[in-house]
Structure 1
């Protein structure tokens, strides 16, 4: 399944520091992908983005411990971006880079 349109919206939201809204898009995509044998592996990337985006928001709310725990879930799955074969891969790489940029901006 190609989800470039949805990923572009998520990128726009992350760019505007709207982490909760980006989280919601990633979570909806993750739910759509997680139950299919054909998209299960890719669902872990979407789960990683769900967690990464909310991790930044949790840090902004001074919930650092919870932010770190959620961030660790992102770290667990981010390596899949480099190995998975999917038409969404380039957007996943772009999102990963943006997430690190935003994390550096808010979590020093």
Structure 2
């Protein structure tokens, strides 16, 4: 049985695949928001994933320049993948690879 955290990570991926980037953002925000004031690398990584979804939504809306700022936030936190200790680390690596693939394929 999946934990709530795992279900929300899966929802995030599903939303990305369906190009529902705002909904993807909302799924992860449910994990991130209660922890947003923690100085924790996993929390920062989640913030980065949320910003990737925001960047995709802005691209979809034709707002290329604002999307670059959100994307830069994702890039800022992406290296934390290699430093965090989390039971979800493998999922985070998969999500990051998927985000990067979407971005570079321009299939947004």
TM over 0.5: yes
How far apart, in 2, do the equivalents of 1:47 and 1:27 lie?
8
2:72 is the counterpart of 1:66: no
Unmatched runs of 5 consecutive residues or more in structure 2: none
Work out whether residues 52 and 71 of structure 1, in 8 Å CA contact, stay in contact via their aligned partners in 2: yes
Q: How do 1:17-56 residues align onto structure 2 when only pairs under 5 Å count?
A: 17-36=19-38, 40-56=40-56
Q: What RMSD, in angstroms, separates the aligned Cα atoms of the two structures? A: 2.1
Q: 1:68 to 1:107 in 2, by over 3 A?
A: farther
Return the structure number with greater relative CO, CA threshold 8 A, min gap 6.
Answer: 1
How far apart, in 1, do the equivalents of 2:38 and 2:23 lie?
25
How far apart, in 2, do the equivalents of 1:58 and 1:66 lie?
7
2:8 is the counterpart of 1:6: yes
How far apart, in 1, do the equivalents of 2:53 and 2:38 lie?
24
Q: TM-score, normalised by structure 1?
A: 0.87
How far apart, in 1, do the equivalents of 2:67 and 2:22 lie?
13
Work out whether residues 59 and 107 of structure 1, in 8 Å CA contact, stay in contact via their aligned partners in 2: no
